[in-house]
Amino acid sequence: MNGSTRPKIPRRMLDGVLLLDKPLGLSSNDALIRAKKIYLAKKAGHTGTLDPLATGLLPLCFGEATKFSQDLLEADKTYEATMRLGVRTTTGDAEGEALQTRDVTCDEAAIHAAMAQFRGDIAQIPPMYSALKRDGKPLYEYARAGQTVEREARNVTIHALDLIACALPDVTFRVTCSKGTYVRTLAEDIGEMLGCGAHLVALRRTGVGALTLEHAVTLDALAEATPDTRDSWLQPVDALLSTFPAVHLDADATRRFAQGQRLKLSDIADAPAVADRVRVYALEDQRLLGVARAGEGVLAPDRLVVSAA
């Protein structure tokens, strides 16, 4: 055995959700790797990527919480963004090269009017610089090779779109949108409606579903904190499920649910008649058992947490 070989640092079984305030210039995966190393966690994953240009809320899941990360991928997102009018770029943001420069002749009233056209259900054509795949290859690979391929428009929903500040040529706005929305594309489309073009120069995610930046921490703070403080910053696994109705099971129903059995809704006091997803707890100790679907008179287990077995 080589005497210089370093002993492996033991990893911890850790369950919970960390609300990370991702820094500028770091990929979501790199941020995850750093946090996982700081916590010495055995298993971790994130809930959807933020571009290196973007900062803000990146929920990281540890242990059993990774089973429910998909639920946040489906959730609405809220961003604060700044677009610069008058310049279109190859990527739709500040990382790209300028494609076209035009004079900015609009005023704040025109910007309000343009934004009003993008609230509600809209169609977006995904940008070439995106990870969407065509024939098994990400679109950004075609773009880097100087190729443009046809993309189908996708329907997304802009729940809210409000002007925060206007210091032309820069315009800062807040948007709450459905999954699959490209804020870069939204900025470009608003710029085109204003007749001058635009690109994104800053993007900060402030909300994912019911989660917000209020309790988020930075990587620097994590690195400097004591282990006990770090663990105190972890949200419980069910922080990802707060928008689901909750049901509570007695001891017998808890045992059967943990074994994957379906239960009669009529036997559960607080069960909804129909729900796409519900979070399920043991009535005795309030521990999370997992998530289920309620319908056709039964509560059907969907995903269980190991501790419930």
| 10 falls within a domain | no
Q: What are 158's two structure tokens?
A: 């802009």
Pair 152, 224 in one domain: no
CATH code, domain carrying 186: 3.30.2350.10
Question: Which residue range forms the structural domain that includes residue 27?
Answer: 16-74+211-239
pLDDT score recorded for residue 4 = 58
Pair 99, 113 in one domain: yes
Pair 156, 59 in one domain: no
Cβ contacts of 277 within 8 Å, gap of 6 or more: 71, 241, 244, 291, 292, 293, 302
Q: What are 2's two structure tokens?
A: 């080589």
Pair 203, 285 in one domain: no
Amino acid at 47: T
Give ∠ CA 6-7-8 in degrees, rounded to 5: 115
pLDDT score recorded for residue 308 = 46
| 217 falls within a domain | yes
For the beta carbon of residue 161, count every other beta carbon within 10 angstroms. 20
| 44 falls within a domain | yes
Q: What are 115's two structure tokens?
A: 């934004």
Pair 110, 181 in one domain: yes
Pair 41, 83 in one domain: no
pLDDT score recorded for residue 254 = 95
DSSP code of residue 225 = S
CA-based nearest residue to 14, from 233, 301, 240, 278: 233
Give ∠ CA 214-80-224 in degrees, rounded to 5: 40
Q: Which of 51, 93, 189, 238 is catalytic?
A: 51
Amino acid at 288: L
pLDDT score recorded for residue 307 = 61
| 9 falls within a domain | no
Pair 86, 70 in one domain: no
Pair 50, 96 in one domain: no
Pair 86, 111 in one domain: yes
What residues of the chain score a pLDDT lower than 50? 1, 308-309
Residue for token pair 């085109």: 192
CATH code, domain carrying 255: 2.30.130.10
Give ∠ CA 209-212-217 in degrees, rounded to 5: 135
pLDDT score recorded for residue 309 = 42
51 is catalytic: yes
pLDDT score recorded for residue 104 = 97
Q: Burial code of 41-50, b = ≥16 C-beta within 10 A, e = fewer?
A: bebbbbbbbb
Overall domain count for the chain: 3
Pair 163, 262 in one domain: no
Pair 202, 216 in one domain: no
| 52 falls within a domain | yes
| 197 falls within a domain | yes
C-alpha to C-alpha distance for 239 and 222, rounded to whole angstroms: 20
pLDDT score recorded for residue 125 = 84
By three-state DSSP, how is residue 297 classified? coil
pLDDT score recorded for residue 5 = 64
Report whether 186 contacts 83 (CB < 8 A). no
Please state at what angle helix 108-116 crosses helix 183-193, rounded to 10 degrees.
120
Rounded to two decimals, the pTM is 0.88
Pair 39, 99 in one domain: no
Residue for token pair 């190729």: 147
